[in-house]
Amino acid sequence: TLRNAARGLSTEQLNTRLAPGTWSIKEVIVHMVDSDQAASHRMRRIAAEDMPLLVSYDENAFIARLDNAAMDANEALDLFDANRRFTARWLRTLEPAAFARVGIHTQRGKVTLGEILDIYVKHLDNHMVFTDGKRKALGK
């Protein structure tokens, strides 16, 4: 889980970038909060609106310009977990046809609610590979 990525790490370790241009574990955690909240909002808009425009955001600008090192990792993890629980509960209330509803993403074009859900399930898995490797490099 994402929470395991931070378990047993000091603040310094959470904020360590192993190489220039890479993200720290805390930056990955905060990024997952940002992206999951965006995905939840996009899915809700697709379910509620007809062909909503889904605006992308620059994740690298969020890392470069926002002081993620100052954020509390446990608060971010609590928010991530709460959003995932809320979204999962809400998704279970939908009729199957809702997952075929479409929105227009500014980078991807037409996307269904189901496709966005699939992207964000895999998104966490992709970042867990990174955090697992970083933990090993930090001796954890």
pLDDT digits (tens, 9 = 90+) for 15-47: 999 889 899 999 999 999 999 999 999 999 999
pTM score, two decimals? Answer: 0.92
Structure tokens at 25: 């574990």
pLDDT above 90 coverage of the chain, percent: 83
pLDDT the model gives residue 107: 94
Please state the domain extents for the chain: 2-137
Helix axes of 113-137 and 25-48: crossing angle, nearest 10 degrees: 170
In CATH, the architecture of 2-137 is Up-down Bundle (1.20)
